Amino acid sequence: MRRNRIIRITLLSGYALFIVLSWVLGFEPGKEVSQNFATFAIDMLKIVPCAFILIGLFEIWINKETVERHLGEESGLMGYLWAVLLAGTTVGGVYIAFPVAYALHSKGAKLGVIFTYIGTSAICRIPMAVFESSFLGIQFTIIRLLVSPPLVIITSKILGDYLTKRNYKLKQPS
């Protein structure tokens, strides 16, 4: 554990030193890296706190039985469809999808449905589809939305069933 902490501190210190030296010496790629990092960090600070509040409310307000009924072992194909619908409305991309997926898992959602949620949250978000259709055309977006989710559902079901047969368990955070 101590070795991992030393490695993390070393990497963060090296990154900070690189950024400072880039600004001092006028190294443009390093300056761009720092500006991109700052932009990304600000965007994260706008979205993540709100998302975590909503995830906390989900943990309190939604009964485990409700999640198990709609997304659990007995949900069948409807569980996968619910996961696609939930993923389509997720804001913030996959860095919000993973905490939501963990919350779903802790409430009893089956692995295949969780994999579907994660996969479709990366490819089927409504804002992304609107943006994509304005650049690539509505026909491309419709075809992609008709092809991608079924492929994600099929692979998620296969992977979820495989891991369930192997008695896979998520490690609890320490």
Mean pLDDT of 131-138: 89
The answer on 77 and 34 residing in a single domain is no
The answer on 157 and 77 residing in a single domain is yes
- Please state, in angstroms and rounded to a whole number, the distance separating the CA atoms of residues 87 and 128: 12
| Residue 170 confidence (pLDDT) above 70 | yes
The answer on 67 and 37 residing in a single domain is no
Taking only the tens place, the pLDDT of each residue in 67-87 is 989 999 888 899 999 999 999
Confidence at 3, pLDDT banded by 50, 70, 90: confident
In a domain? residue 111: yes
**Residue whose C-alpha is closest to residue 123's, from 158, 161, 153:** 153
The pLDDT score that the predictor gives to residue 174 is: 61
- Please state, in angstroms and rounded to a whole number, the distance separating the CA atoms of residues 145 and 44: 27
In a domain? residue 121: yes
- Please state, in angstroms and rounded to a whole number, the distance separating the CA atoms of residues 156 and 169: 16
Which residues lie closer than 8 Å to 78 by C-beta, 6 or more apart?
A: 70
Taking only the tens place, the pLDDT of each residue in 15-67 is 999 999 999 999 999 999 999 999 988 988 888 888 889 888 888 998 899 89
125 or 84, higher pLDDT: 84
The answer on 97 and 24 residing in a single domain is no
Taking only the tens place, the pLDDT of each residue in 112-123 is 999 999 999 988
**Which letter does DSSP use for residue 172 in this model?**
P
The answer on 6 and 91 residing in a single domain is no
For the entire predicted model, the pTM comes to 0.77
The pLDDT score that the predictor gives to residue 22 is: 92
The answer on 145 and 84 residing in a single domain is yes
Find out whether 51 and 99 touch, Cβ atoms under 8 Å.
Answer: yes
| Residue 172 confidence (pLDDT) above 80 | no
Give the 3-state secondary structure of 47-100: HHHHHHHHHHHHHHHCCHHHHHHHHCCCCCHHHHHHHHHHHHCCCCCHHHHHHH
The answer on 79 and 146 residing in a single domain is yes
Structural domain count, the chain: 2
Mean pLDDT of 141-161: 94
Confidence at 1, pLDDT banded by 50, 70, 90: low
| Residue 160 confidence (pLDDT) above 90 | yes
Domain region containing 168: 62-174
The answer on 150 and 69 residing in a single domain is yes
In a domain? residue 54: no
Which single residue is written with the structure tokens 């500006």?
35
